Amino acid sequence: MKRSNALRVLFVILLLFVFTGCGLAKDSSVMNRNVTGKDTTEKRIVSSEKPASDKIVTEAPVSEKIMISEKPVSNKNYSQLIKQINEYTMTQPGFYGIYFKDLDSGAVFDINGNEPITAASLVKVPAVLYLNTLIDQGELNWDDTVAYESGVDYQSGAGTLQFSARDGDEYSLRTLANLSITVSDNIAYRMIVRKVGKDNLANFMRSLGGETVFPGGWNITTAEDMGKYVEAILKFNEKNPEMGQKLLYDMAHSIYNVGLNGRIDKSVTVSHKEGDVTGVANDAGIVFAERPYILVVLTKNVDDIDRGFERIAEISRIVYDYHINEPA
């Protein structure tokens, strides 16, 4: 995930101050007890930047429990909406892969839904969901830590750990999961994958129905596959609301909010994940409108990343306006 404009650079600097100056450690004395100026071989235990309890989530849930329709086929006809989307995208540069699911009716449509497109930071969605699943199963614990190894973990781009992490620093799985989603931290994601194993992650993604999973080792997906991973979060939330709400909350409070929720009613909660690399701008998530739905918009051959997200925002607006005005 990377953004090029000056505002985002300034925002990352501000985040760096927050996370390194007062955010990552709940009690700065914890870090002082574990790190001294004379002995730099000691490991720092870096605690979560969020409160230890989950009250922030359980007291303000993202949504009420959603019963997902399992109907494989719906009679609802989205031909007019598809026409509107196509009329818009045909006037814009780039290629678009789109997936939509009405969570009430089970109605699904896609436009180029099986076209392989670079996932960029959207891959962090199934990775963090897999981490949640392992913890739910008792295989791991949120307090388990991973030590930073710059030789294998370092990656520039999005996130704050690239500025603050030092070899040997230990981060809890809770912190890594949060950073991966809320600030799209590339290093946090790499540390999670090193902990759970890339092959295991790939098998998990396939178990959710993913068909285009790291082909040739590349981070490539499809809009339909991403839709399945997003829906799997809602199913996980039904099974474990406490953990599910935490994940949905983090997705709804990302620092990146110019795609799916860029041009729709600001009172509507959108749990989503944006991602971009050169020529690619993506967003995938759940729009918790009165009739909630999943929307995934993947793009490639994008001439400008910022304009790419503006186009995603416009597609999202077209879908939202149609969906809320269409009779159930």
Judged by average pLDDT, the poorest of 20-34, 108-122, 219-233 is 20-34
How much is the pLDDT for 325?
A: 85
Residue 186 three-state SS: helix
Judged by average pLDDT, the poorest of 70-84, 145-159, 301-315 is 70-84
**Count of CB atoms situated within 10 Å of the CB of 72:** 7
More confident residue, 37 or 142: 142
Mean pLDDT, the chain, whole residue set: 82
Q: What is the tens place of the pLDDT at every residue in 124-172? A: 999 999 999 999 999 999 999 999 999 999 888 887 898 999 999 999 9
In the chain, what are the domains? 55-142+186-325 (3.40.710.10)
**Residue of 268, 259, 309, 258 lying closest to 288 (CA atoms):** 268
**Residue of 93, 92, 98, 96 lying closest to 78 (CA atoms):** 98
Task: Tell me how many degrees the CA angle 69-259-326 measures, rounded to the nearest 5.
Answer: 45
CB 262 within 8 A of CB 312: yes
**Count of CB atoms situated within 10 Å of the CB of 91:** 8
Prediction pTM value: 0.80
Q: In the structure encoding, which two tokens stand for residue 69, read together?
A: 């329709």
14, pLDDT greater than 70: no
**Burial label, 240 (beta-carbon count in 10 A; 0-12, 13-18, 19+):** middle
Q: What are phi and psi of 49, to 5 degrees?
A: -80, 0
Give the neighbor-by-neighbor strand order of the sheet with 45-46.
45-46, 170-172, 145-147
More confident residue, 74 or 140: 140
